[in-house]
Amino acid sequence: MVNENTNRFEIGTEKKIYANQIMTEVMAALEQKGYDPINQLVGYFLSGDPTYITSYNGARGIIRRMERDELLEVILRDYVNRLKDM
């Protein structure tokens, strides 16, 4: 049996703020270690492999505090909303 319904993911304001804090800390750690944060985050999001994220300043543990799909949803919603506002 095929499910033809679209799954909707809803993330509240608190989770958006939490995701923002996570991404800010992780990106700062990646930059401080000399990595390109975008490349490293893409690798992590696509593979699920936490070794794409440095352990410096606990960044690897920090990014794992929230599920990848939830982080991606927050990032994509923010991006789409910014496009709408242009």
Task: Render pLDDT for 26-61 as a digit per residue (tens, 0 to 9).
Answer: 999 999 999 999 999 999 999 999 999 999 999 999
pTM: 0.82
Can you tell me the distance from the alpha carbon of 83 to that of 72, in angstroms, rounded to the nearest whole number?
16
DSSP category for residue 53: S
Taking only Cα atoms into account, the Rg of the chain, rounded to an integer number of angstroms, comes to: 14
70 with 9: CB under 8 angstroms?
Answer: yes
DSSP category for residue 57: G
Percentage of the chain exceeding pLDDT 70? 87
Q: Domain ranges in the chain?
A: 13-84
